[in-house]
Amino acid sequence: MSTPQLVVHRDTELMAQATAARLITRIVDAQAARGAASVVLTGGRNGNGLLAALAASPARDAIDWSRLDLWWGDERFLPEGDPERNVTQAREALLDTVGPDPSRIHAMPASDGPYADDVDAAAAAYAAELAAAAGPGDGGTVPAFDVLMLGVGPDTHVASLFPELAAVRETELTVVGVRGAPKPPPTRISLTLPAIRAAREVWLLAAGEDKAEAAGIALSGAGEVQAPAAGAYGRERTLWLLDAAAASQLPPALYPRASA
C-alpha cells in the first residue's frame, strides 16, 4: 500500500493539462523501460477532460500508440455505441484522433454483445481477458497497469464501486457486475478494489466544489466500504490530482489553506 500524494492545481483546466503532460511522460517512460505500457482509463467529467487535454497536446505524439494497452475501470452496461458508454466518449475525446492499435483497446462488453443482458457473464469475460494479459510477475489475475485512473464521485465512489454496495466489499473477483447503482444507469461493470490495487500507480481525479466533501472524507481515514475512494491505492504510488475547489475541505495537515 502506497501513501497518498497530493497535487493541487489552480483550476480544472490547468489540472487537465498538467495531468495529460504527466500521463504522457509516464507512458513514454514505461514504453522505454518495458517496450509497452498499459493504462486504465476513467470516464466522467474529469476523465474526459483529461482525454481532451491529451488530444490537444502536441506532446501526445511522443507516445507510441501502437504499443499502448488501454483498459477501463468501469463501464455503463448499455448497447455498443451508446453515447453514455465510457468507451464511446473516449473514442470521441481522444482515440479516434490518435489511432491506437484496435487489438489493444480493451473495451468492456456492451449489453447487446455476445453476453446479451447477462452483466455477470460480461464481467467474467472481462476478468478472463485481464487474466490472459497478466504477465508472469503479475499474480495471474490482472496486468500490473502502469497507471490506473479513477474519477472520484461526490459520494466518494470510484469506478462503479459505490458506498456500502456489494461490489465494494468484493475481495476475490477482479471484475463484477453492478446492479442497482445509485447513479444512472443502474447496471454497470466494474473493476474491484483488488484489481485496482494491482496497478503500479493509481491516480484519483477530483475537480470542482461538488467533489470537495468526498476528497476530504476519503483522505481523512474513512473506511473503504463507506468511502470507496479511500480503498483505491497503487502498489508503488497513489496520486490524488485535484483542483483548488476540490481541495477546499481537505484536512489542514494535508493541504494548508495558506498555500491554496
Q: What digits encode the pLDDT tens for the residues 7-50? A: 999 999 999 999 999 999 999 999 999 999 999 999 999 999 99
For 122, the grid coordinates are 460480461
What pTM did the predictor assign?
0.95
Assess if residue 188 is contained within a domain.
yes
Flag residues of the chain having pLDDT under 70. 257-260
Phi, psi of 244 (to 5 degrees): -60, -35
The reply to whether 81 falls in a domain is: yes
Residue 241 lies in a domain: yes
SS3 184: coil
Short-list 205, 252, 181, CA closest to 49: 205
pLDDT value of position 258: 44
State the alpha helices, DSSP H only, in 35-165: 44-56, 86-90, 96-98, 119-133
Element (H, E) at 195: helix 193-196
pLDDT recorded at residue 257:
60
Q: Is residue 217 part of a domain?
A: yes
Measured distance CA(90)–CA(101) in Å, rounded: 14
Task: Name the residue range of residue 27's domain.
Answer: 4-250
Does some domain include residue 83?
yes
Give the pLDDT score at 251.
Answer: 85
Does residue 12 belong to any structural domain of this protein?
A: yes
Residue 239 resides in a domain: yes
256 inside domain: no
Block residue for cell numbers 483498459: 71
Torsion angle defined by CA atoms of residues 122, 105, 166 and 161, in that order, rounded to the nearest 10 degrees: -150
251 and 216 Cβ atoms separated by less than 8 Å: yes
Give the CATH number for residue 207: 3.40.50.1360
Helix, strand, coil percentages in the chain from 3-state DSSP, rounded to 5: 40, 20, 45
pLDDT value at residue 136: 81
Q: Count structural domains, the chain.
A: 1
